[in-house]
Amino acid sequence: MPVCKPVLSVAAGLLLAGCAVFSPVQPGMSRAEVLSRLGTPTAVVALPAGERLQYSSQPFGQTATMVDLDASGHVLRERQVLTAAEFARIQPGWSRADVLREFGHPARIDRVYSWDGDVWTYRWRADGDMFYWVYFDPAGQVARTQQGMEFLNAPNDNKQ
């Protein structure tokens, strides 16, 4: 039995290591290193103390990664923002510029008969394929948000 314990410990360690997510971007990296690893960002946004490199897979993907750089051009943090926790930060009164800065360009911008303003749609993944809608009032301020399931890739139960 003495052999079992070390073998189980190694197996557990490998299993945990396999679950970890390793980012190609680490705090302290230079802007040039980020660009060499991730390529050209989909957008660059000025921040009060630096800039944000946005890497969005919208309109068809389900991710948007933000890489924040300090004033000297070094990575402060990197994060995937199309998550329930990040979307929960959106507050009524945010401007279009606020939403663009925090989440990047949406997958779609629509107008619907029942709403007097733009509706921005983000595609993301939680327990399944999801939509997140941001409703802007006529002045361009967030009025409300809503999430829902995306059934485009779901099996068709109506097949004959």
Query: pLDDT tens-digit profile of 59-78?
Result: 999 999 999 999 999 999 99
Distance between CA atoms of 57 and 34, rounded to whole angstroms? Answer: 17
Distance CA 100, CA 91 (A): 14
Range of the domain at 136: 25-149
Domain assignment present for residue 68? The answer is: yes
Q: Alpha carbon of 114 to those of 56, 104, 119: distances in Å?
A: 29, 25, 11
CA dihedral 104, 64, 84, 124 (to 10 degrees): 100
Quick one: pLDDT at residue 155? 61
**Exposed (0-12), middle (13-18) or buried (19+): which is 19, by Cβ within 10 Å?**
exposed
In a domain, 130, yes or no: yes
Q: Do the domain assignments include residue 160?
A: no
**What order of strands is seen across the sheet that includes strand 108-111?**
108-111, 118-125, 129-136, 142-149
Looking at the 3D structure of the chain, how many domains does it have? 1
pLDDT at 151: 78
Q: For residues 66 and 56, is the Cβ–Cβ distance under 8 A?
A: no
Specify if 15 maps to a domain. no
How many other β-carbons are positioned within 10 Å of the β-carbon of residue 106? Answer: 22
At 19 the pLDDT is 43
d(CA 50, CA 54): 13
- Whole-prediction pTM: 0.80
**Residue 17, SS3 per DSSP:** helix
Asked whether the beta carbons of 120 and 95 are under 8 A apart, the reply is no
Residue 37, helix vs strand vs coil: helix
Which secondary structure element, helix H or strand E, spans residue 70, and what is its range?
A: strand 64-70
| 20 within some domain | no
CATH code of the domain containing 124 = 3.30.1450.10
83 found inside a domain: yes
pLDDT < 70 stretches in the chain: 1-22, 152-160
Query: Letter for the amino acid at 140?
Result: G
